[in-house]
Copies of this chain bind each other. A is one copy, B any other.
Amino acid sequence: MTYSELSAQIFQKQSYLCIGLDTDPRKLPRHLLTESDPVFAFNKAIIDATHDLTVAYKPNIAFYEAQGPRGWESLQKTLDYIPNDCFTIADAKRGDIGNTSDLYARAFFDPTAAGLAFDSVTVAPYMGRDSVTPFLAYEGKWVILLALTSNIGSADFQRQLVGDQELFEMVIETARTWASPDQLMFVVGATQVDEFSRIREMAPDNFLLVPGVGAQGGNLEEVSRLGLTAKGGLLVNASRSILYASDGLDFAEKARAEAKALQTEMARQLAHIR
């Protein structure tokens, strides 16, 4: 999906919601456990209940990997089931030397070589340029680079001063020389609102993927006010607050209600930038 297609989806659906498919087999509603693939059955129901309210789905690869080969099959089926009008993110936080990043890129981008067909993958910047560029070699595919994450540990290295800027700022500035905003987004945690203006100034046209709304306590209104652009420019992720809104027979219905509440607020925020 291209930058302008993603932007168009945001205004059409009046939503910049991304639903994180952090599907934990231990948290599934009991009635799904008799399904042949409970994880896929759950994801399918969530997608059915929310795809008109969300512009992106973000399977968290760890949750599938922890299930072994079966998990990869659930992931493949989930990805195949996501409608074409939704942007897809492999939240994998990969990053390795060039020839290995080539392989990760193939794993997430290249179905002709036994890989998956995600639109994008999250990548860690620590190993530098040649760990990132192999993903950019796939035309129309995106790198979503970790910049300033939502967790406490973000202070350990990301917030350290390198010269007159913090490390995450250097990451943003440097990575913008590697790729255009058509292929490069940044991860900025919703818990980091104090830095949002500065980041938007440094990366005026890059999409920002913002986790941390909901379970992690980030504030949607503030993130939107500081981060939205005329093209949208934001994907705000919620995972647990939607997926596990109920663990009963009504789990999909309750998930939809949570997603609807976020989408309604997003429509309100989008009206402001018109």
Instruction: Assess whether A127 is in contact with B151, with CB atoms less than 8 Å apart.
Output: yes
Q: Which 7 A-B pairs have the closest CB atoms?
A: A128-B153, A128-B156, A62-B103, A69-B69, A69-B72, A66-B107, A130-B153
A100 to B161, CA, bound (A): 27
Q: Contacts of A76 on B, CB cut-off 8 Å?
A: 68-69
Contact indicator A70/B130 (Cβ below 8 Å): no
Range, interface on chain A: 35 or more
- CB distance A151 to B131 under 8 Å? yes
Q: A257 interface residue, CB < 8 Å from B?
A: no
Indicate how many identical chains form the complex: 2
**Distance between A134 CB and nearest chain B CB, rounded to angstroms:** 10
Bitwise, A89-108 to B at CB < 8 A (1) or not (0) is: 00001111110110110110
In the complex, whether A162 has a CB less than 8 A from a CB of chain B is yes
**A62 and B104 contact, CB distance less than 8 A:** yes
Is A197 engaged at the interface, CB distance under 8 Å to the other chain?
no
A230 sits at the interface (CB 8 A): no
Q: How far is the CB of A19 from chain B (nearest CB, A)?
A: 16
Q: How far is the CA of A157 from the CA of B71 in the complex (A)?
A: 34
Whether, in the assembled complex, A78 has its beta carbon less than 8 Å from a beta carbon of chain B, the answer is: no
The answer to whether A146 touches B127, judged by C-beta atoms less than 8 angstroms apart, is yes
Tell whether, in the assembled complex, residue A160 and residue B162 are in contact, meaning their CB atoms are under 8 Å apart.
yes
Which of A1-9, A48-56, A166-174, A260-268 faces chain B?
A: A166-174
A244 at interface by CB-CB < 8 Å: no
CA distance A110 to B22 in the complex (A): 19
Per-position 1/0 for A230-257, Cβ under 8 A of B: 0000000000000000000000000000
